[in-house]
Amino acid sequence: MAYVDGFLIPVPNSRKAEYQAHEEKWWPWFRDRGATSMTVCWADDVKAGKWTDFQRAVALEPEESVVFAWMIWPDKAMRDEAFEGMDDAAMDMSEMPFDGKRMVFGGFVPIVDVTA
């Protein structure tokens, strides 16, 4: 069964192009380790909620936007194996164009998956 990694990431507006290039650069790394797709979305209509919201989830600061992203894997085992390799020297995370401490992420098992 497919497995989904989901992400919420606060990114400075001034680094949008750099962030996009960062994701495009690393996509082959994940693809080569089994990911079947990646979608990265820049906030467009993300309003403040009454109790919680995307902005509070990442402690959004002024002049930042929330990125909502996900990767699809064939199964959890393949995803786990890929992430074990993130310690590789080839996966240098020192120059991320966002504050990784405020990133929210997790793995999910689909329970409804429909396409028109």
Give the per-residue pLDDT at 89: 53
Beta strands in 1-116 (DSSP E): 3-12, 37-42, 64-73, 104-108
Other C-beta atoms lying within 10 Å of the C-beta of residue 49:
11
The pTM score is 0.89
Write down the pLDDT at residue 92. 61
Is residue 69 helix, strand or coil?
strand
Q: Per this entry, what is the length of the chain? A: 116
Q: What is the DSSP-derived secondary structure letter of residue 95?
A: T
Give tens-digit pLDDT for 9-61: 999 999 999 999 999 999 999 999 999 999 999 999 999 999 999 999 999 99
CATH topology of domain 3-108: Alpha-Beta Plaits (3.30.70)
Q: How is the chain split into domains, by residue range? A: 3-108
| pLDDT tens figures, 49-68 | 999 999 999 999 999 999 99
